[in-house]
Structure 1
Amino acid sequence: MGLSSKTHLRVRYSETDKMGIVYHANFLVWFEVGRSELFRELELPYTEFEEQGLGLAVIEANCRYRKPAHYDDELVLVTEVDQMSSRSARFCYHVYREETLLAEGKTVHAFINTEGRSADARRYAIWTRLQGIIEKNKDAKHLSKG
């Protein structure tokens, strides 16, 4: 889809294990940070979804670790919307230290209502804004290809 953002992170001591390497589960925490920042950049913070009674529940998550990250490393997390429908969303992530790819992953989310049941996002006001951003991005991507 091409909707993406970059988030700069610095590895904190508490995120590392006894060997000084980032504990693997912290990458999933960083993925959440990346999603939140992406939506914030789109002027659609999670709080607006929640205020309307709509959530995005993680239904699948994976991460492939390529190289270790260490305490005090400066990292860049690239988060991209890979797919979006009125029922679900998929995000892709790439974590870099300078030009070196350290990890890559994806998460799949289902839109849910306040009762935790599957929801059709088209029934919520925020969908109109989200759909507009997606369509605008498709048009911009198409124009950039020539």
Structure 2
Amino acid sequence: MEIQPYERKAWYHETDQMGIIHHSNYIRWFEEARVDFMDKIGFGYERVTVTGIDLAVTGVSCEYKSMVRFGDRVRIECRVTELSPARLSVGYRITDAATGELRTTGETRHCYFDNAKRRPVSLKKAVPELYDLFAACLEEPFSD
């Protein structure tokens, strides 16, 4: 399944004293792109929460390859890189929208969490439709 990348503009309030995007914002951008990705596969995040399940973040990694500055437009590609009934990993690749230059790569790791029972749950049993959508999107991790 081919999903169009999420595109966004880098805003002034996201910059640091050196005029580049502060490193913490890339994690927020991963989340924006992941929510957009879920909309595009037809199972938006709002729909997930209605089921009583959440995708709890268990880990994040990020490698900065080149700087993003205020006003730059970036594309953020997401892909499901690991999937099991209990866990999900999503890979990210941020490139400059104009030049295609690689800016950042990263990954978030998740478990599926039942909000009512306050414990991890099998997504394959709890929300099989979403599990199947993630499975259809499973790809190799991005290579630099």
TM-score category of the 2 structures, normalised to the smaller one: 0.7 to 0.9
Which residue matches 2:125? 123
Which residue matches 2:82? 83
Identity of matched residues, %? 22
Matches of 2:137 and 2:60 in 1, distance apart? 25
Which residue matches 2:39? 40
Alpha-carbon RMSD across the aligned residues, in angstroms, is 1.9
Structure 1 residue 5: Cα displacement:
4.0
Matches of 1:75 and 1:81 in 2, distance apart? 20
**What is the aligned length?**
136
**Deviations 1:44-102 (CA, angstroms, capped at 9, x unpaired):** 01111111110101101010001110000011111111112211100000110121101
Which residue matches 2:101? 100
Matches of 1:49 and 1:37 in 2, distance apart? 13
**Deviations 1:22-53 (CA, angstroms, capped at 9, x unpaired):** 00010000000111011100110111111111
Runs of 4+ more than 3 Å apart: 2-5, 134-138
Structure 1 residue 135: Cα displacement:
5.3
Q: Structure 2 length as normaliser, TM-score? A: 0.86
Matches of 1:111 and 1:6 in 2, distance apart? 24
Could you tell which deviates more after superposition, 112-121 or 5-14?
112-121
Structure 1 residue 122: Cα displacement:
2.5
The question of whether the paired residues in 2 share the 8 Å contact of 1:5 and 1:34 is answered with no
Which residue matches 2:112? 111
Which residue matches 1:144? none
Matches of 1:38 and 1:89 in 2, distance apart? 14
Q: Which runs of 5+ in 2 are unaligned?
A: 140-144
The question of whether the paired residues in 1 share the 8 Å contact of 2:83 and 2:135 is answered with no
The question of whether the paired residues in 2 share the 8 Å contact of 1:13 and 1:71 is answered with yes
Give the structure with higher Rg (CA).
1
The question of whether the paired residues in 2 share the 8 Å contact of 1:4 and 1:81 is answered with no
